[in-house]
Structure 1
Amino acid sequence: MNIRKADHSDLNAIVSLSPQAIYDGTLGEVMPSNEKVESLVQSILDKGGFYFIAEEKGEILGWVLAGTTKDQFTEEPIGFIYELYIRQPYRGKGHSKRLMNAAIEHFQEDGFTEVRLSAKAENPAVRMYENMGFTTRTVSMSLSIK
Protein backbone atom coordinates (compact mmCIF):
# COMPACT_ATOMS: atom_id res chain seq x y z
CA MET A 1 0.00 0.00 0.00
CA ASN A 2 1.30 3.41 -1.01
CA ILE A 3 0.26 6.84 0.23
CA ARG A 4 0.78 9.83 -2.02
CA LYS A 5 -0.69 13.22 -2.80
CA ALA A 6 -3.49 12.87 -5.31
CA ASP A 7 -2.97 14.37 -8.72
CA HIS A 8 -5.53 15.78 -11.12
CA SER A 9 -6.15 12.39 -12.72
CA ASP A 10 -7.29 10.96 -9.34
CA LEU A 11 -9.96 13.60 -8.71
CA ASN A 12 -12.74 12.12 -10.86
CA ALA A 13 -12.52 8.76 -9.08
CA ILE A 14 -12.46 10.41 -5.65
CA VAL A 15 -15.37 12.77 -6.38
CA SER A 16 -17.45 9.90 -7.80
CA LEU A 17 -17.01 8.01 -4.51
CA SER A 18 -17.44 11.06 -2.25
CA PRO A 19 -21.25 10.94 -1.94
CA GLN A 20 -20.86 7.50 -0.33
CA ALA A 21 -18.04 8.83 1.85
CA ILE A 22 -20.27 11.63 3.13
CA TYR A 23 -23.19 9.22 3.60
CA ASP A 24 -20.99 6.90 5.67
CA GLY A 25 -19.41 9.77 7.59
CA THR A 26 -22.79 11.21 8.53
CA LEU A 27 -24.01 7.74 9.52
CA GLY A 28 -26.62 7.69 6.78
CA GLU A 29 -27.97 11.15 7.46
CA VAL A 30 -26.83 12.86 4.23
CA MET A 31 -26.40 11.60 0.65
CA PRO A 32 -25.30 14.61 -1.39
CA SER A 33 -25.49 14.81 -5.16
CA ASN A 34 -22.33 14.59 -7.22
CA GLU A 35 -22.81 18.26 -8.10
CA LYS A 36 -22.91 19.25 -4.41
CA VAL A 37 -19.79 17.21 -3.68
CA GLU A 38 -17.94 18.76 -6.61
CA SER A 39 -18.87 22.24 -5.38
CA LEU A 40 -17.75 21.55 -1.81
CA VAL A 41 -14.51 19.87 -2.86
CA GLN A 42 -13.63 22.49 -5.44
CA SER A 43 -14.03 25.22 -2.84
CA ILE A 44 -11.53 23.44 -0.55
CA LEU A 45 -9.10 22.72 -3.39
CA ASP A 46 -9.30 26.34 -4.59
CA LYS A 47 -8.14 27.43 -1.12
CA GLY A 48 -5.08 25.15 -1.23
CA GLY A 49 -6.67 21.94 0.02
CA PHE A 50 -5.34 18.59 -1.13
CA TYR A 51 -5.94 14.87 -1.00
CA PHE A 52 -3.62 12.14 0.15
CA ILE A 53 -4.70 8.79 -1.25
CA ALA A 54 -3.95 5.24 -0.19
CA GLU A 55 -3.56 3.06 -3.24
CA GLU A 56 -2.54 -0.42 -4.14
CA LYS A 57 -1.93 -1.71 -7.66
CA GLY A 58 -3.43 1.49 -9.08
CA GLU A 59 -6.66 1.19 -7.08
CA ILE A 60 -7.69 3.90 -4.60
CA LEU A 61 -8.36 2.33 -1.20
CA GLY A 62 -9.23 5.60 0.52
CA TRP A 63 -8.24 9.21 1.05
CA VAL A 64 -7.96 12.12 3.39
CA LEU A 65 -9.00 15.62 2.27
CA ALA A 66 -6.98 18.23 4.12
CA GLY A 67 -6.59 21.97 3.98
CA THR A 68 -6.26 24.99 6.17
CA THR A 69 -8.59 27.33 7.98
CA LYS A 70 -8.30 29.95 10.70
CA ASP A 71 -9.39 29.83 14.31
CA GLN A 72 -12.66 31.76 14.51
CA PHE A 73 -11.49 33.81 17.49
CA THR A 74 -7.73 34.19 17.14
CA GLU A 75 -7.42 34.08 13.33
CA GLU A 76 -4.45 31.71 13.82
CA PRO A 77 -4.00 29.38 10.82
CA ILE A 78 -4.68 25.71 11.54
CA GLY A 79 -4.61 22.49 9.58
CA PHE A 80 -8.00 20.93 9.01
CA ILE A 81 -9.07 17.41 8.07
CA TYR A 82 -12.22 17.80 5.98
CA GLU A 83 -12.78 14.16 5.10
CA LEU A 84 -11.32 10.75 5.78
CA TYR A 85 -12.66 7.76 3.90
CA ILE A 86 -11.66 4.16 3.40
CA ARG A 87 -13.65 2.12 0.91
CA GLN A 88 -15.59 -0.70 2.57
CA PRO A 89 -13.46 -3.68 1.42
CA TYR A 90 -10.29 -2.07 2.78
CA ARG A 91 -11.43 -1.03 6.26
CA GLY A 92 -9.86 -2.36 9.43
CA LYS A 93 -6.36 -2.59 8.00
CA GLY A 94 -4.84 0.62 9.42
CA HIS A 95 -5.16 2.71 6.26
CA SER A 96 -7.05 5.49 8.06
CA LYS A 97 -4.30 6.01 10.59
CA ARG A 98 -1.60 6.04 7.90
CA LEU A 99 -3.54 8.63 5.87
CA MET A 100 -4.10 10.77 8.95
CA ASN A 101 -0.41 10.58 9.83
CA ALA A 102 0.53 11.66 6.30
CA ALA A 103 -1.71 14.74 6.59
CA ILE A 104 -0.48 15.57 10.10
CA GLU A 105 3.16 15.27 9.01
CA HIS A 106 2.43 17.56 6.07
CA PHE A 107 1.00 20.19 8.42
CA GLN A 108 3.98 19.83 10.78
CA GLU A 109 6.40 20.33 7.88
CA ASP A 110 4.49 23.46 6.88
CA GLY A 111 4.87 24.87 10.41
CA PHE A 112 1.32 24.44 11.68
CA THR A 113 0.96 23.86 15.41
CA GLU A 114 -2.58 22.44 15.42
CA VAL A 115 -4.81 20.18 13.34
CA ARG A 116 -8.58 20.02 13.78
CA LEU A 117 -11.43 17.97 12.38
CA SER A 118 -15.16 17.50 12.86
CA ALA A 119 -17.02 14.20 13.12
CA LYS A 120 -20.44 12.92 14.06
CA ALA A 121 -20.34 12.03 17.76
CA GLU A 122 -21.48 8.45 17.06
CA ASN A 123 -18.99 7.87 14.23
CA PRO A 124 -16.72 4.92 15.09
CA ALA A 125 -13.75 6.90 13.71
CA VAL A 126 -13.93 9.17 16.77
CA ARG A 127 -12.20 6.47 18.82
CA MET A 128 -9.31 6.35 16.32
CA TYR A 129 -9.01 10.15 16.41
CA GLU A 130 -8.88 10.06 20.21
CA ASN A 131 -6.27 7.29 20.12
CA MET A 132 -4.19 9.52 17.83
CA GLY A 133 -4.33 12.32 20.42
CA PHE A 134 -7.24 14.44 19.20
CA THR A 135 -9.34 15.88 22.00
CA THR A 136 -12.80 17.41 22.10
CA ARG A 137 -12.55 21.21 21.75
CA THR A 138 -16.14 22.22 21.24
CA VAL A 139 -19.47 20.49 21.24
CA SER A 140 -22.01 21.19 18.53
CA MET A 141 -25.56 20.40 19.59
CA SER A 142 -28.83 20.12 17.73
CA LEU A 143 -32.51 20.14 18.64
CA SER A 144 -35.03 18.83 16.15
CA ILE A 145 -38.17 20.99 16.30
CA LYS A 146 -40.33 19.31 13.69
Structure 2
Amino acid sequence: MAQVRFWQPTDLPWLLEMAARTDWEILSPTDRAVARPEVVRANSHRNLLATLASPGGTAIVTEDGGRPVGFLLIGIRPDDRTGEPQGYMADIYLMPEYRGRGLAKQMHELGEQYLRWLGIRQVTNWVHATNPLGQKASHARGFRVWGVMMEKLLTG
Protein backbone atom coordinates (compact mmCIF):
# COMPACT_ATOMS: atom_id res chain seq x y z
CA MET A 1 0.00 0.00 0.00
CA ALA A 2 1.36 3.41 -0.97
CA GLN A 3 2.18 5.86 1.79
CA VAL A 4 3.18 9.54 1.84
CA ARG A 5 6.20 10.73 3.83
CA PHE A 6 9.03 13.27 3.85
CA TRP A 7 12.03 12.54 1.63
CA GLN A 8 15.15 10.78 2.88
CA PRO A 9 18.70 11.10 1.48
CA THR A 10 18.40 7.61 -0.05
CA ASP A 11 15.58 9.01 -2.26
CA LEU A 12 17.89 11.55 -3.92
CA PRO A 13 18.93 9.53 -7.01
CA TRP A 14 15.29 8.71 -7.75
CA LEU A 15 14.21 12.33 -7.12
CA LEU A 16 16.85 13.60 -9.54
CA GLU A 17 15.74 11.16 -12.22
CA MET A 18 12.04 11.89 -11.80
CA ALA A 19 12.59 15.66 -11.71
CA ALA A 20 14.36 15.41 -15.06
CA ARG A 21 11.62 13.18 -16.48
CA THR A 22 8.91 15.55 -15.23
CA ASP A 23 10.58 18.62 -16.70
CA TRP A 24 10.92 16.85 -20.06
CA GLU A 25 7.31 15.58 -20.04
CA ILE A 26 5.79 19.00 -19.35
CA LEU A 27 7.48 20.57 -22.37
CA SER A 28 5.10 21.35 -25.19
CA PRO A 29 5.79 19.49 -28.45
CA THR A 30 7.10 22.74 -29.94
CA ASP A 31 9.52 23.24 -27.03
CA ARG A 32 10.55 19.58 -27.04
CA ALA A 33 11.47 19.86 -30.73
CA VAL A 34 14.15 22.46 -29.96
CA ALA A 35 15.09 21.54 -26.37
CA ARG A 36 18.34 19.84 -25.58
CA PRO A 37 17.64 16.94 -23.20
CA GLU A 38 20.96 17.37 -21.38
CA VAL A 39 20.16 21.04 -20.69
CA VAL A 40 16.64 20.24 -19.42
CA ARG A 41 18.11 17.49 -17.23
CA ALA A 42 20.88 19.71 -15.82
CA ASN A 43 18.41 22.51 -15.05
CA SER A 44 15.99 20.13 -13.34
CA HIS A 45 18.81 18.71 -11.21
CA ARG A 46 20.03 22.19 -10.28
CA ASN A 47 16.50 23.28 -9.32
CA LEU A 48 15.84 20.17 -7.22
CA LEU A 49 19.15 20.36 -5.36
CA ALA A 50 18.86 24.11 -4.75
CA THR A 51 15.31 23.74 -3.42
CA LEU A 52 16.24 20.88 -1.09
CA ALA A 53 19.31 22.79 0.16
CA SER A 54 17.43 26.05 0.75
CA PRO A 55 16.07 26.95 4.20
CA GLY A 56 12.74 25.17 4.61
CA GLY A 57 13.04 23.31 1.31
CA THR A 58 11.89 19.71 1.32
CA ALA A 59 10.19 17.02 -0.72
CA ILE A 60 7.20 14.86 0.04
CA VAL A 61 7.57 11.32 -1.32
CA THR A 62 4.97 8.67 -2.02
CA GLU A 63 6.40 5.18 -1.69
CA ASP A 64 5.05 1.72 -2.31
CA GLY A 65 6.82 -1.31 -0.94
CA GLY A 66 9.81 0.80 0.05
CA ARG A 67 10.36 2.35 -3.40
CA PRO A 68 9.45 5.93 -4.32
CA VAL A 69 6.63 6.32 -6.84
CA GLY A 70 5.87 10.04 -6.55
CA PHE A 71 7.11 13.32 -5.14
CA LEU A 72 6.19 16.93 -4.43
CA LEU A 73 9.02 19.47 -4.20
CA ILE A 74 8.47 22.37 -1.77
CA GLY A 75 10.51 25.53 -1.42
CA ILE A 76 10.21 28.76 0.52
CA ARG A 77 10.73 32.13 -1.15
CA PRO A 78 9.68 35.72 -0.57
CA ASP A 79 6.39 36.94 -2.00
CA ASP A 80 7.10 39.30 -4.93
CA ARG A 81 4.63 41.85 -3.56
CA THR A 82 5.12 41.77 0.20
CA GLY A 83 8.49 40.14 0.81
CA GLU A 84 6.84 37.76 3.28
CA PRO A 85 7.92 34.12 3.07
CA GLN A 86 5.63 31.94 1.00
CA GLY A 87 5.62 28.30 0.08
CA TYR A 88 6.27 27.23 -3.46
CA MET A 89 5.21 23.81 -4.72
CA ALA A 90 7.78 23.50 -7.46
CA ASP A 91 7.24 20.06 -8.98
CA ILE A 92 4.88 17.15 -8.54
CA TYR A 93 5.09 13.74 -10.15
CA LEU A 94 3.38 10.39 -9.72
CA MET A 95 4.19 7.32 -11.76
CA PRO A 96 1.25 6.77 -14.15
CA GLU A 97 0.02 3.58 -12.48
CA TYR A 98 -0.41 5.49 -9.17
CA ARG A 99 -2.43 8.38 -10.56
CA GLY A 100 -6.12 8.77 -9.74
CA ARG A 101 -5.80 7.27 -6.25
CA GLY A 102 -5.74 10.52 -4.26
CA LEU A 103 -2.00 10.29 -3.61
CA ALA A 104 -1.22 13.70 -5.12
CA LYS A 105 -3.88 15.16 -2.84
CA GLN A 106 -2.23 13.47 0.16
CA MET A 107 1.17 14.89 -0.85
CA HIS A 108 -0.36 18.37 -1.14
CA GLU A 109 -2.06 18.03 2.24
CA LEU A 110 1.17 16.98 3.96
CA GLY A 111 3.01 19.79 2.18
CA GLU A 112 0.45 22.35 3.32
CA GLN A 113 0.59 20.97 6.87
CA TYR A 114 4.39 21.38 6.80
CA LEU A 115 4.12 24.96 5.53
CA ARG A 116 1.57 25.83 8.24
CA TRP A 117 3.94 24.34 10.82
CA LEU A 118 6.64 26.74 9.53
CA GLY A 119 4.19 29.64 9.88
CA ILE A 120 3.73 30.06 6.13
CA ARG A 121 0.32 31.45 5.20
CA GLN A 122 0.51 31.45 1.40
CA VAL A 123 1.60 28.89 -1.19
CA THR A 124 1.98 29.15 -4.95
CA ASN A 125 2.62 26.67 -7.71
CA TRP A 126 3.47 26.94 -11.37
CA VAL A 127 1.51 24.80 -13.78
CA HIS A 128 2.59 24.61 -17.41
CA ALA A 129 0.10 25.95 -19.95
CA THR A 130 0.11 22.56 -21.71
CA ASN A 131 -0.83 20.70 -18.50
CA PRO A 132 -4.64 20.96 -18.21
CA LEU A 133 -4.79 18.10 -15.67
CA GLY A 134 -2.33 19.94 -13.43
CA GLN A 135 -4.37 23.13 -13.76
CA LYS A 136 -7.58 21.26 -12.90
CA ALA A 137 -5.94 19.59 -9.89
CA SER A 138 -4.59 22.92 -8.64
CA HIS A 139 -8.03 24.54 -8.91
CA ALA A 140 -9.53 21.59 -7.05
CA ARG A 141 -7.03 22.14 -4.21
CA GLY A 142 -7.99 25.82 -3.88
CA PHE A 143 -5.30 27.47 -6.01
CA ARG A 144 -6.38 30.39 -8.17
CA VAL A 145 -4.76 31.98 -11.20
CA TRP A 146 -2.83 35.09 -10.15
CA GLY A 147 -0.53 35.52 -13.12
CA VAL A 148 0.18 34.22 -16.57
CA MET A 149 3.68 33.73 -17.96
CA MET A 150 3.97 34.43 -21.68
CA GLU A 151 6.80 34.29 -24.20
CA LYS A 152 7.60 35.68 -27.59
CA LEU A 153 10.21 34.47 -30.03
CA LEU A 154 12.15 37.40 -31.48
CA THR A 155 12.99 37.08 -35.15
CA GLY A 156 15.26 39.00 -37.55
TM-score, structure 1 as length reference:
0.90
How far apart are 1:99 and its partner, in Å?
Answer: 0.8
> Match for 1:44 among 37, 51, 54?
51
1:55-86 Cα deviation digits (max 9, x unpaired)? 11012110000010001221111011010111
Q: Which residue of 2 aligns with 1:70?
A: 78
1:1-146 aligned within 5 A: 1-27=2-28, 29=31, 31=37, 32-48=39-55, 49-123=57-131, 124-146=133-155
SS in 1 for 2:119: coil
Aligned amino acid, residue 137 of structure 1: W
For structure 2, the 5+ residue unaligned runs are none
Please give the root-mean-square deviation of Cα atoms over the aligned residues, in Å: 1.7
Aligned amino acid, residue 37 of structure 1: S
Structure 1 residues 68, 87: CA separation in 2 closer, same or farther (over 3 Å shift)?
same
Aligned amino acid, residue 129 of structure 1: S
Aligned residues with identical type, % of pairs:
20
1:98-135 Cα deviation digits (max 9, x unpaired)? 11111011111211111101111231111011011100
SS in 1 for 2:73: strand
Deviation larger for 90-99 or 124-133: 90-99
* Distance in 2 between residues matched to 1:41 and 1:131, nearest whole Å: 25
How far apart are 1:37 and its partner, in Å?
Answer: 2.6
* Distance in 2 between residues matched to 1:106 and 1:27, nearest whole Å: 32
* Distance in 1 between residues matched to 2:147 and 2:44, nearest whole Å: 26
SS in 2 for 1:16: helix
How far apart are 1:140 and its partner, in Å?
Answer: 1.4
How far apart are 1:33 and its partner, in Å?
Answer: 4.8
SS in 1 for 2:75: strand
Q: Is the 8 A contact 1:25 1:119 kept in 2?
A: no
For structure 1, the 5+ residue unaligned runs are none
